[in-house]
Amino acid sequence: MSPLDHKLLRDLWRMKGQAIAIGAVIAMGVLMLVMMTGLVASLTETRDAYYDRYRLADVFAPVARAPERLAAQLAEIPSVSSVQTRVVGRALIDLPTQVLPVQAQAVSLPDRGPPALNDVFLTDGRMPASGRADEVLLLNSFAAEHELRPGDTLRATMNGSRRSFDIVGLAQSPEFLYTTAPGELVPDDARFGVIWMVRSGLAAAYDMEGAFNEVLLGLARGSSEEALLDAVDRALESYGGTGAYGLADQLSNAFVTQEIEGLEASTVGVPPIFLAVAAFLLYIVISRVVQAEREEIGLMKAFGYTDIEVGTHYFKLILAIAAGGALAGCLGGIAAGRGLIGLYTEYFKFPFLVFQLDPASFAIGITVSILSASAGGIFVLRRVFALTPAVAMRAPAPPNFSRTGRIGQSFSQLLDQPSRMVLRRLTRQPGRMAGSIIGIASGMALSAAMLTIYAGFDRSIDQTFSIVDRSDVMVSFTHAVSDKTLFELVRLPGVERAEPVRNVSVVLRNGLESHRGGLIGLPPAPELNRALDDTLAPIELPDRGVVLSDVLAEILDISPGDTLIAEVREGRQPRLEIPVAATAQTLLGSPAYMSLDALNRAMREPGRISGAYLTIDEAEAEAIYAALQDMPTVAGLSVKSQARDAFLRMLNEGAGAIRYAMGVIAFVITFGIVYNAARIALAERARDLASLRVIGFTKGEAAFVLLGELAVVTLVALPVGAGLGYYLSFVIAAGFSTELYQIPAVFDPTTYGQAMLVVLGAALVSGWLVKRDLDRSDLIEALKTRD
């Protein structure tokens, strides 16, 4: 081993505390990168493999009722590779443990053999026997919530008729990775199920013998999806087709894809922020380490070592710290990714989900870490190498403290000697102090931003379920009914108020942009479910025009005053041209609001509603639920408290839980930055502090000189970090937001107070650790010149 390598090992051991702290900051940034890229790769590969293995359809085409012979005509379309017709319908499941009936979707399976498209994955039991209309498969996650197993009996209402079924198996399907009750956006396994049964039995239940109400199609490789959709719409138009749509608009796949895209956006935007903070810290640390070893560099050059050899030595030091931190980050990222992957298995109904590593993330993390670490050393080495050995070996001229500069003479006389030393260093070395301030401020910004995100999630929940939706129960009907039904609801004992709503399935278009969703018709000045502006003030719905959510307006690239095209997918299926009147702030979903009367006029169906929002007396809740269940037009009930609980579970136990991992990483980086600032100050001033001890300063006075500097730097960094954190919050909030839910970045003094406490706590702990090392230091060893 060469003498320089011996020196390298000694240097690493001497600065082991600081090296570990630097490595921890690097590790956190790399951990974030590896974890998030791995999650994206895992979800994408698993989704694609699952879709392919169980033959998820490329095109879905609902229809009112079409004869089975039409399947052969559809199969002759050149771009069609496979066709599967089926019967689907809404059902209500009666469970003895539930007061409310549970909404479900009934789906047919071929009487013989597996389906050509949208096959199911059997997790327990067996498939329904051919011709057995009383045997069903049940969605595995729903069965688990209600402790149902093969062999149990299930009662359900289909098409107004109550029937009893035998559960013979449990299943999962790529079609139902994300399951929500009709009219809701948040999944809840306890409140929505899927029932599979043989085609003949389900066709009899829904009067579909010899017919179907949905057709699935596979797209031939290299064919145009748009052309196929047009051809299918033309073929089904005379049979009540409501518009074919591709896999991208299929509800479950759309939400899975949005989650992956949101996570991918976070991967692109968030880890670089963490790595940038680490890179800046490394620049400060390495540049100061090299500057502090100016004399050693001159000594090595005097012994005949070339600039390249000395530079390589310091690059090895940088490489050891950066590579060690990057390696720890890679291992930590693998562990964190494997831990979080279980949340996605629970959130999305994948039968298998294995954490997949993205090799590019390792290469990027290690490369960025080493390059950022090298930048500080190279910048300083360039100036030191320009010196001759004799000059480099001579210590730089000490700063001139004979004048107080900007500190007034009268003010200086009010301070004791240690305090004046602290102020002189702050004012005479503003560049170094600014670097420490920005470093600590960056840590403060990360903590403040993550705490703001936590508050944003809470604000999203509170605004959605307390300010926007002020109802207790939402009733949905099997079809658009007369608004006189509202009076029947109001007459129910315990119903305090009822407000109508109509949901119309549409495809919204603006130029080349489109979105498959719905128009929501509300009273002009609704009270129970409202559209709000940016100030949370209610928007009175105009007699003509549509109010779009901010998210939907961004998706469609449209502004108030523009004209929106709405292609209705039910009833007479008119094509509406509607002016955009305003935009509303919504944090759940991407709705489009219209006046109920205006929507009914556009549909040429006056006085129709498809649901109602109710406020009820909780003491009468069970009686109200029972009465609603007996109404033949009621398709389902949604209790707001249950929907809120489901949303909370999704945010805390599902995809939103990743914010906690990011918060822990932010706090670790914050502590690492503050601790590094303290360690750097100690390394730079160890000789000076030892000299103070020799000339008579006590341990406390010497520590005050060091820790006073850290205290001032930390206090100045707090408001700077608060400003940086404010803007950083918007970047991270955008990374977390999806079409399903939007996370606002809202300034909350409490949040910033908590972030300041985190930084101050880190400063106190770091100060205590540094003072302990200072008290234990050997004065004679500290005063020696290192060789």
Given the structure tokens 């960094």, which residue do they identify?
A: 717
Among residues 633, 610, 622, which one has the least CA distance to residue 499? Answer: 610
The pLDDT value recorded for residue 274 is: 64
The pLDDT value recorded for residue 404 is: 46
Among residues 214, 238, 173, which one has the least CA distance to residue 59? Answer: 214
Residues of the chain with pLDDT under 50: 404, 407-408, 786-787
> Token pair of 373, please?
């670490």
- Which H or E run includes 167? strand 161-172
The pLDDT value recorded for residue 787 is: 44
The pLDDT value recorded for residue 399 is: 56
Asked if 168 and 150 touch (Cβ cutoff 8 Å), the reply is yes
> Token pair of 696, please?
């008579």
Q: Is 752 helix (H, G, I), strand (E, B) or coil?
A: helix
Among residues 43, 48, 37, which one has the least CA distance to residue 336? Answer: 37
For residues 86 and 77, give the distance between their C-alpha atoms in angstroms, rounded to a whole number.
19
Tell me the CB-side half-sphere exposure of residue 220, using CA atoms within 13 A: 10
What burial class does residue 41 get, using C-beta atoms within 10 Å of its C-beta: 0-12 exposed, 13-18 middle, 19+ buried? buried
| Each residue's pLDDT tens digit, 512-525 | 888 888 899 998 88
> Token pair of 415, please?
């301070």
The pLDDT value recorded for residue 215 is: 95
Alpha helices in 237-306 (DSSP H): 251-292, 294-302
For residues 398 and 386, give the distance between their C-alpha atoms in angstroms, rounded to a whole number.
20
Angstrom distances, CA of residue 343 to CA of 324, 432, 650: 29, 44, 10
DSSP string, 48-93: HHHHHHTT--SEEEEEEEEETTHHHHHHTSTTEEEEEEE-EEEEEE
One-letter amino acid of 753: G
The pLDDT value recorded for residue 413 is: 61
Q: In 10 A of CB 481, how many CB atoms?
A: 19
For residues 307 and 291, give the distance between their C-alpha atoms in angstroms, rounded to a whole number.
15
Given the structure tokens 């009733």, which residue do they identify?
A: 475
One-letter amino acid of 107: V
Contacts of 218 (CB under 8 A, 6+ apart): 55, 57, 58, 59, 80, 81, 82, 83, 116, 117
> Token pair of 85, please?
């017709």
| Each residue's pLDDT tens digit, 342-396 | 777 777 788 877 777 777 777 877 787 777 666 666 666 676 667 677 776 666 6
* DSSP symbol at 484: T
